[in-house]
Amino acid sequence: MEYKEVINKIRPEVDKVIAFLDGEFNKIRTGRANPSLVEDVVADCFGQKFPLKQLAAISISGPKQILIQPWDKSYVEGIVSALQKTGVGSNPVVDREAIRINLPPMTEEYRKDLFRLISEKQEQSRQSIRRWREQAWEEIQEQAKDGKIREDDKFRAKDELQKLVEEYNKKIEDLGEKKKKEISE
C-alpha cells in the first residue's frame, strides 16, 4: 500500500467535516431570512416527530420574513409549538393556513455571541481534521514499521498530510469569514 492511498482514504472524511461545518453555519441566523434557519426544527405531529422540511414548504417572503406553508392544515399547531420552543427570533404568526416568522433586528450583543459560536464551530472542525491527520499518520507509521512503506515515503506522507490539513484549515477559515461578513451586513 502506498502512503497516498492512506491520505486519499481520509480526504472524503475531511470533506464531510467541511460540509457539516457549512451546514451548521447555514443554521446560524444572519440579518436576512433563510429557510435553513427552520427547516430542521423538529415538530410533533400525530405523536411522531418530523423535521419541518417534511411537513411544509418553506420560503422567504421578504428580507426578514420566513413563510411556512404546511402540506396539511392539521400540522399548523405542531409546527407553531416547535417554532416557539426553538427561539428563532420571534413568535410565529398564523396567517390563515400559513405561518410567518418576522425576524427581529440583530443587536450588537447577539452578533458578538454569533461570532463566538462561529469560532467555536471552526475550532471543533479543526480538531476533527487534526484527528483524521493523526489517524492517517499512525497508519503510515505502522506500515513503515511493517516495511510496506519506505522511510523516505513516510516523511513525504507527513508533509502531504500537513499540506492537506493546511488546505482544509483555509476552507474552515474562509467559511467562517464569509459567515461573519453575512452577520455584519
Q: What pLDDT shows up at residue 100?
A: 78
Residues 165 and 118 in one domain: yes
Residue 79 has pLDDT above 80, yes or no: no
Band of pLDDT at residue 89, cut at 50, 70 and 90: low
Number of domains present in the structure of the chain:
2
* Residues 135-183 pLDDT 10s: 988 988 888 888 888 888 888 888 888 999 999 999 999 998 988 887 7
171 and 116 both lie in a single domain: yes
- What the block records as the C-alpha cell of 75 is 400540522
53 and 89 fall within a common domain: yes
**pLDDT at position 82:** 78
Are 156 and 63 a contacting pair, CB within 8 Å? no
On whether both 67 and 134 belong to a single domain, the answer is: no
Q: Which helix (H) or strand (E) holds 68?
A: strand 65-70
Distance CA 164, CA 121 (A): 19
129 and 90 share one domain:
no
Residue where a domain stops, chosen among 86, 102, 118: 102
pTM assigned to the model: 0.67
Q: Residue 84: is its pLDDT beyond 90? A: no
- 113 and 93 belong to one structural domain: no
The rounded distance, in Å, linking the Cα atoms of 63 and 96 is: 21
Last residue of a domain, one of 77, 102, 127: 102
Using CB atoms within 10 Å of the CB of residue 124, give its burial: 0 to 12 exposed, 13 to 18 middle, 19+ buried.
middle
Q: Assess whether 74 and 116 both reside in one domain.
A: no
More confident of the two residues 124 and 31? 124
Looking at residue 19, which CATH number applies to its domain? 1.10.132.20
Domain boundary, last residue among 102, 128, 151:
102
pLDDT range class, residue 88, cuts 50, 70, 90: low
**pLDDT score recorded for residue 29:** 65
- 135 plus 86 within the same structural domain: no
Give the pLDDT band of residue 90 (cuts 50, 70, 90).
low
Q: Please indicate, yes or no, whether residues 51 and 96 belong to a single structural domain of this protein.
A: yes
In a shared domain, residues 177 and 86: no
Beta carbons within 10 angstroms of residue 147's beta carbon: 8
Answer yes or no: is pLDDT of 1 > 70: no
Can you give the CATH number for the domain in which 66 is found?
A: 3.30.1360.40
Q: What is the pLDDT of residue 30?
A: 66
Measured distance CA(43)–CA(106) in Å, rounded: 26
- Note the pLDDT tens digit of each residue in 93-121: 778 788 877 777 777 887 888 888 888 88
Domain membership of residue 55 as a residue range: 35-102
